[in-house]
A and B are shown apart, each in its own frame.
Chain A
Amino acid sequence: MKNILKKFFAAAVILILCLSVAGCASYEEEKQPVTISIWHVYGAQTDSPLNDLISEFNETVGAETGLRVEVTMVSNNKNIHKDILAASNFDPGAPVLPDIFVAYPSTVMAMPDENILVDFRDYFSEEEIGEFIPSFVEDGTVNERLVCLPVAKSTELLFINKTAFDRFSESTGIKAEALSTWEGLFETAEIYAKWTDEQTPETPDDGKALFVHDFHFNYFQVGTESLGENFFSDDKIAFGPAFGKAWEPYAKACLSGGVWLQGGYATEPLRTGESIVSVASSASVLYFSNEVIYPDNRSENIELIVRPCPVFENGKNLVMQRGAGMCLVKSTPEREQAAVTFLKWLTEPENNTKFAVSTGYMPVTSEAFEKYLPSAIENLTEQKYVELYGAYLETQEKFEFYSAPKFDEYLEIENKFEESIRQFMENGRKSWLLTDRSPEELEKATEENYTLFKDYM
């Protein structure tokens, strides 16, 4: 009897199980992915190498581990900074914070609560952190928390429209080597403004700016430090003698019309032929076009050459270290882990080198530098990239890198400086054009504007 009952129960249970679990197995593996969003700056409005790498990640590791990275903004640091602050302050109409965004520590310090960001030391072991270049890790550390994970680093380099400069050189005899010092560069800028003005005698005061700088603030900061003086004193600009020394050639060139004083990034006037030399981030190589389009719609294919950033004649070889890091917004452990999986993949030496070299950056781990970077540079074929990495390696060999200090007022000072100095110089130039334009008047205007600017700051 017991056997009969056992058979009966077993049959009933198996029948119910068969009915209920039918169809489960074949769809078990189709689990939907965890999707994380990212705002980045690598490519902006051009082809974005990071977008391509993200697609590669989604198709490979992402597909295997059930996660997807979705790009929800490709812009520049300035715009991302603005939107991050708006989002973290919950401003009306502000977007929602993404999972990952690219920012400098100054953006993090300007956020109302930097604790909404993950400390990467919670997800990376000491050994993994140790694989990064130590100074890059230090750059991304705010209040002893690693909140900006370095993924690519850049520096400032000198970009020259060789095709246009050669024409100028042929006429004036000034060589590109003159641009290797700030004194030489600004003097050349003065000459260039005058020379271009002379090309169209029928149109007075239409001289062009030779030089455009992405960040005038960086010129003064690194310049002052390279002359052996602290740029900041008690979290304010010191305005010491070295600052004055940096001011003089700069202001003279600006007042003479040799420096581009309008807004926008340095690549813009180079593309329109309005300037022919710039100091900008190495990453701006992505935005340089080999074609210059003039106002009459003629276009010209140009050769771009890249050199290390100029220095002062009596200063040391110092250059700004740039390159923002990736910040991760705290969410759920599942989402944070997904984001970290992506970032670890992106900072793996081989992937990191591929990413960095395609965007004009340098990788961030020792292994990438030693094992993968040399062959990646050797395999470059595009002329402007070959130039770029040639200048990069020279900079590494001969220069010391300078990292901006981290204090709360830094960003405020930088913005105020950057916005006002162009305006001061623009106004100063308008006033100077009304004088007899003698060297004495130029000297006088240079000093007057220094006093005005110093007082304003």
Chain B
Amino acid sequence: MKITPVELIKLTKKAKNHSIKMQNRLLLYWAVMTFVIFAAILVVMSFAGVFSNSEEKASHLLELQQQNTYAELSEQFTLLTAKGISLSERTSEILEGFLFTESASMLSDNPEMLEVIETILYGDLDAVIHSNPCNGAYIIFDATINTKIPEAEKSRAGIYLRLANISGKNEISTDVTLFRGIPAVARKNGAELHNRWKLEFDISAMPGYDSAANFAGTRLADGCFWTENTTLPETWESMVLLNTPIVAKDGSIYGVCGIEVSEFYFRLSHPAVESEFGSMVTVLAPIEKDELMVSKGMVGSSGGTYLRDNENLIIREGEKFNTYIGRDSAFIGTHQKLDIALEDGSAIYAVTLLPAGNYLREEATNRLIWGISAIVLFVAMIFVSFFLAKKFVRPIAQSLSAIQENKMEDAENSGISEIDSLLSFIEKNRASGNENSLPSDIEELFTEFAKRAESLTPTERSIIKYYSDGKEVSEIPELCFISINTVRKHNANIYKKLGVGSKEELMLYVELFRRCGRFDELL
């Protein structure tokens, strides 16, 4: 139900046409004024942007968090790329020490030499995974321990270390497992074999290996590429890999080295950030045709959200932030392209997501709070209007009532000068109307009698008062502490001074003065 200004005017006119109580009419005027002022305040607040506060706040939060997300991811992956290049150069140096001008294939069928090289490189890989934001690192040689086995074509020797018990990005005492490599190397260094250990790499299942192994450029930075999210064979883990060619001085390829960031490690090292709108989640993923390909990227800790790492999200661009829509959940957020090289040349984005439900609920809650506050304020204003109207009308109503009941002399001062003046005027007029009503001879008789009464002594006045109260002559001596003879003497003086002949005549005058309200003139 809505009320329009036209209807409001009609209501007012209707009220006018009816004979209504002054208080109600005044209350209606107050209420209309209150509502108009209230509506004006709401309009002003609306224009001032008070009601769009949630949107502004969410936008601001996302912007700040996105800056952090972008900086963190950019730093992490740039640093790891630099480490990958550095590891490649270091491996190249060591291999040159063993191979001189020979190619890496010289290591084939030479497990002893491979064990020595792996033992040397173990320390480098261990340092990489313990002091950088990653959980695994590997070096693959273009050689195999046994060229006679059927799988030799796709089997390559090397060493792959992974952190064993990750539970946060800052751990320093994490154990290491050997995922690929010679077991004796692990045992020399106190490391265990990974539950899915194998002696060599299967390069046909190694994402990005071919691109790096066939690198023909001169700058290593041009040959470093990150892969899409891939499942680690026979495990529950998935990861992205950085592959870097290991280039000999003559430009030939010794092999490939790389760094691993598993989705599990990524999740733990990018915890959700709590905000007033819920958990803000970090995502690193490519975008294809307005779709955020979460399944090809990685997701930080999902915190208090329903974000799934295998569900892609449709992007709806917005003015202040975007909306990312999944199968049964939606997020607001923002994304930014990262300067990270993927193998297929596609772009990858740093994304900050916030559950849309939280934001919308927050906005609705705010609106509800505003609404309830407005209702409370509105009702309070109406009560104040009612109170003021009542307080204003009451003295006027009382005064009018006093006039109607002809009790103006009993009426209290109204506190309103105009009303008090009116009452005084009416009373004065009425008083002057009473005096004029007495006949002039009677008035003269009254005046003369009153004048004569002025000569009475106090005792004589007391005796007249006793008579007017209905006392008898015989009671006077006792009341005035005088003898009956003295009473008679005073009676005689009273009759003489007032010019009356008997007590009955005296009492007639007394009664007349009383009825005319002028009894005081005798005493």
Is there a chain A Cβ closer than 8 Å to B75's Cβ? no
Q: What chain A residues lie within 8 Å of B306 (beta carbons)?
A: 32-33, 63, 68
Q: Give chain A's interface secondary structure class.
A: mixed
Complex CA–CA separation, A24 to B368 (angstroms): 8
Is there a chain A Cβ closer than 8 Å to B363's Cβ? yes
Closest Cβ–Cβ distance, residue B239 to chain A (whole Å): 12
Q: What chain A residues lie within 8 Å of B237 (beta carbons)?
A: 45
Q: What chain B residues lie within 8 Å of A19 (beta carbons)?
A: 367, 371
- Are the C-beta atoms of B194 and A45 separated by less than 8 Å? yes
Complex partner residue of A27 from B164, B235, B357, B368, CB under 8 angstroms: B357
Stretch at the interface among A8-16, A379-387, A433-441: A8-16
A8-B3, A262-B187, A272-B193 known; A43 and B367 CB under 8 Å?
no
Complex CA–CA separation, A264 to B25 (angstroms): 93
- Are the C-beta atoms of B301 and A70 separated by less than 8 Å? yes
Is there a chain A Cβ closer than 8 Å to B172's Cβ? yes
A30-B355, A68-B306, A296-B146 known; A287 and B195 CB under 8 Å?
yes
Stretch at the interface among B77-85, B374-382, B424-432: B374-382
Closest Cβ–Cβ distance, residue B36 to chain A (whole Å): 11
Closest chain B residue to A63, Cβ basis: B306
Is there a chain B Cβ closer than 8 Å to A47's Cβ? yes
Complex CA–CA separation, A13 to B381 (angstroms): 13
- Are the C-beta atoms of A21 and B302 separated by less than 8 Å? no
Closest chain A residue to B191, Cβ basis: A264
- Per the 8 Å Cβ criterion, residues 28-65 of A in contact with B are 28, 30-35, 39, 43-48, 51, 63
Is there a chain A Cβ closer than 8 Å to B165's Cβ? yes
Complex CA–CA separation, A4 to B9 (angstroms): 12
Complex CA–CA separation, A8 to B8 (angstroms): 8
- Are the C-beta atoms of A79 and B3 separated by less than 8 Å? no
Is there a chain A Cβ closer than 8 Å to B24's Cβ? yes
- Are the C-beta atoms of B111 and A296 separated by less than 8 Å? yes
Q: What chain B residues lie within 8 Å of A33 (beta carbons)?
A: 304-306
Digit string of B479-509 for contact with A (CB within 8 Å is 1, else 0)? 0000000000000000000000000000000
Q: What chain B residues lie within 8 Å of A70 (beta carbons)?
A: 301-302
- Are the C-beta atoms of A47 and B175 separated by less than 8 Å? no
Complex CA–CA separation, A265 to B193 (angstroms): 9
Closest chain B residue to A284, Cβ basis: B195
Complex partner residue of A4 from B11, B145, B357, CB under 8 angstroms: B11
Complex CA–CA separation, A268 to B193 (angstroms): 6
Closest Cβ–Cβ distance, residue B309 to chain A (whole Å): 10
Complex CA–CA separation, A25 to B456 (angstroms): 96
Q: Give chain B's interface secondary structure class.
A: mixed
A8-B31, A13-B378 known; A23 and B367 CB under 8 Å?
yes
Complex CA–CA separation, A15 to B370 (angstroms): 13
- Are the C-beta atoms of A93 and B172 separated by less than 8 Å? yes
Closest Cβ–Cβ distance, residue A310 to chain B (whole Å): 25
Is there a chain B Cβ closer than 8 Å to A452's Cβ? no
Is there a chain A Cβ closer than 8 Å to B197's Cβ? yes
- Per the 8 Å Cβ criterion, residues 251-298 of A in contact with B are 262-265, 267-268, 271-272, 274, 286-287, 289, 293, 295-298
- Are the C-beta atoms of A17 and B1 separated by less than 8 Å? no
Identify 16 residue pairs between A and B in the complex whose beta-carbon atoms are under 8 Å apart, listed by A's number: A1-B20, A13-B375, A19-B371, A21-B371, A30-B357, A30-B360, A33-B305, A44-B195, A45-B194, A45-B237, A95-B168, A268-B192, A271-B193, A287-B195, A296-B145, A297-B155
B interface list, Cβ under 8 A from A: 1-3, 8, 11, 14-15, 18, 20-21, 24-25, 27-28, 31, 35, 111, 144-146, 149, 155, 162, 164-168, 170-173, 175, 177, 182-183, 187, 190, 192-200, 234-237, 268, 278-279, 301-306, 329, 355-358, 360-361, 363-365, 367-368, 370-372, 374-375, 378-379, 382
A interface list, Cβ under 8 A from B: 1-2, 4-5, 7-17, 19-24, 27-28, 30-35, 39, 43-48, 51, 63, 68, 70, 72-76, 79-80, 83, 86, 93, 95-96, 98, 262-265, 267-268, 271-272, 274, 286-287, 289, 293, 295-298
Known: A21-B371, A262-B187. 16 other contacts (CB 8 A): A4-B11, A8-B8, A8-B31, A16-B371, A16-B375, A23-B363, A32-B278, A32-B306, A32-B357, A34-B304, A35-B303, A73-B167, A75-B164, A272-B197, A297-B145, A297-B155
